[in-house]
Amino acid sequence: MAQQTRFRAGSASGVIALAALVVLILPRSVQRSATYAEPVLVGIAGLAGLAVLIVVDIALNKIAKLTPDTASHTIASRYVAPAAGVVVAAVKFIAYVLLIVLAGGTLALVVNAVTPLEFDGRIIIIPVTIILAVPVMLRWRINWRFTIGATALALTVLTALLVTALIQEATGSISLSTLVTNRVERGGEVSVRHPVLQTFVVMCCPAALMWLCAERVTPGARNKRVPSSFLRATFAIATIYIVLTFYVAAQFGIATWPVGMPTLVMAAAVWGPVGQAIAAGAFALLAVACALAVYDRLPRLLRSLAIDGMLARSLASTEAVIPRRVVVAVAAVLAAFLGNFLTTTYAGVAAFVFVSFIGFGLTALGIFVRGRRVLQESERKDERRAGYESVWTFALLSLATVALLVMIMILQPVWTGLSLVALLVPTALILLTRRRRGKMSARLAPQDLSEGRALPVRIHAVVVVSTLDLPALRAVTYARGLRAASLTAITVDFDPAATERLRKDWQEADLPVSLTVLGRPAGPTRKPLTEYVREILRRHDRDVVMVILPRVVLQNAWQRNFQGRTTPRIFSDLAGEARVMFVQVPYLLEDGGE
């Protein structure tokens, strides 16, 4: 129970931290999406974005009631098409990668704000996205207390900043002459085309994040949904912070004026350089915490997708640590790649909104198809009423999502194209892997159940030894217990002195197993061993050869660094032989056995 409580706290801290990150980056994104536009237009777009957030919240609540134990990728796979489920799974992966890019971009903005010189943000984004993946690669679990502490610090600083600014605004002590700005960005007085639509896309970011965070990433969890009350409270508070930040920015006259990160500009105006540095430190810590939280969620997301059948079943195993690390490394490289092109927060936010609403649209389409099936198959009045309601509701949502995606593609074709390319990579890999697994399963399926059941005539056991130590004795004893038709211990004469010592030890041990010494090869090679086994196969065309090797199992991690025993390559050399079996006999070396 305590472990589940810690995990729930960890999940909640990650969602809260990401919502706080959105609070920081949205005002900056609006500066880029509605540069030099009237603040009233920003207000209109903000209201439209709030409406989208409310609609997504209602839709997620309905989905949770209809399918509480089914993830969105499973809904799309079951009711739309298997490929649709793969796309939704890839959407989740890419959306998390884009959140890492946004966290790195926020850190770049903070560093750029407190330094006297202007530099390209990619200098920060690319290395940060790689470096912050290292803790997860080393299997360091990110403590949720660090995440919630960094979030609390950032929100405390932001709250104090907004309260101070509102008090000064109420007392009339705000003076634009005291406004300390970072620097006006290059671009002159050129305004952005379609500022209302561009800003509306930015304002859909909280709704996109709500959809992504609405599902648990706990592997094997029965209830896939995050409590709606928690999501509503989190995003309601985030909305309040966003509204207050825009209001104060409008009072300073920087809501649509590209002067840098608005919260840091306001901190410089209200508190001076020292206060700005403190705020920058708090916001930078939040960005780092968000990136670490996302990286920490990725392995659990992979396990969850594997359990649901979207990825290879091998990734669902708790022992599949290295494959999941490889995927996390791929995510870090992909984040660095995207960060090289999505050089502004607006670009990252637009890409995140576009990708996330692809997943939301496919999920809504899946619920729509589910409702149609209910109307076709069910005769119960209550089920048909719910099916009729879901059909109309999610049909409209699907159409609205398509309209939003088309609008984003028209407004920002380059960034959406880059997002589609990034989404295509994991989608194609998953589909190709699933197709290959399907072909392999079809080839392995027995056409005749009587095939492959002929018993071998005899089993010949071959024990490979190099020295007569305790692991070798254990392997020989195990081989004797098999009662094989023939049993032979073999070694290759790599070193005449070592071979002679092995002969003497073998005679002194008086083992009832013959020792065969193969001729000394011209240098270290496994060829004599493989030729010996293949000669047995040629002489006995219906028999099976069992190759047995000792294997040392170490308990002490320090000892593993100095242990030279690994899986012998003879296994791979003989892997193509259909009548060869491989056995490794374990010998446990305890800590006190040094």
Task: Give per-residue pLDDT as tens, 340-369.
Answer: 888 778 889 999 999 999 999 999 999 999
pTM of whole model > 0.85?
no
- For residue range 170-202, list pLDDT tens digits in order: 776 655 444 544 443 443 444 457 778 888 999
Query: Closest Cα partner for 58 from 205, 201, 210, 199?
Result: 210
Average pLDDT, the chain: 83
**Residue 69 pLDDT more than 90?**
no
**Residue 584 pLDDT more than 50?**
yes
**In b/e form, how buried is each residue of 426-464, taking b as 16+ CB within 10 angstroms?**
bbeebeeebeeeeeeeeeeeeeeeeeeeeeeeebbbbbb
- For residue range 275-317, list pLDDT tens digits in order: 889 999 999 999 999 999 999 888 888 888 888 888 877 777 7
pLDDT at residue 271 in the model: 86
| Alpha carbons within 13 A on the beta-carbon side of 4 | 4
The rounded Cα 271 to chain-centroid distance in angstroms is 39
Phi, psi for residue 360 in degrees, rounded to 5: -65, -40
- For residue range 404-439, list pLDDT tens digits in order: 999 999 988 888 898 999 999 889 888 888 787 777
Task: Choose between 41 and 455: higher pLDDT.
Answer: 41
pLDDT at residue 346 in the model: 85
- Binned at pLDDT 50, 70 and 90, residue 525 comes out as low
- For residue range 444-467, list pLDDT tens digits in order: 677 766 665 666 778 999 999 988
- For residue range 568-578, list pLDDT tens digits in order: 677 777 877 88
**Residue 542 pLDDT more than 60?**
yes
CA distance 299 to 314: 13
The two structure tokens encoding residue 29: 């994104």
pLDDT at residue 593 in the model: 45
pLDDT at residue 397 in the model: 94
Structural domains of the chain, with CATH = 17-428 (1.20.1740.10), 459-593 (3.40.50)
Give the strands of the sheet with 544-554, arranged side by side. 514-518, 486-492, 459-464, 544-554, 580-589
Task: Choose between 94 and 415: higher pLDDT.
Answer: 94
Collapse the DSSP code of 587 into the 3-class scheme (helix H, G, I; strand E, B; otherwise coil) and give the result: strand
The rounded Cα 101 to chain-centroid distance in angstroms is 13
Task: Choose between 2 and 236: higher pLDDT.
Answer: 236
**Residue 144 pLDDT more than 70?**
yes
| Element holding 388 (H helix, E strand) | helix 381-411
**Residue 566 pLDDT more than 80?**
no
- For residue range 466-483, list pLDDT tens digits in order: 888 898 999 999 999 988
Contact 511, 485 (CB under 8 A): no
**Residue 524 pLDDT more than 80?**
no
Residue 569's Cβ-count burial label (10 Å; 0-12, 13-18, 19+) is: exposed
**Residue 224 pLDDT more than 60?**
yes
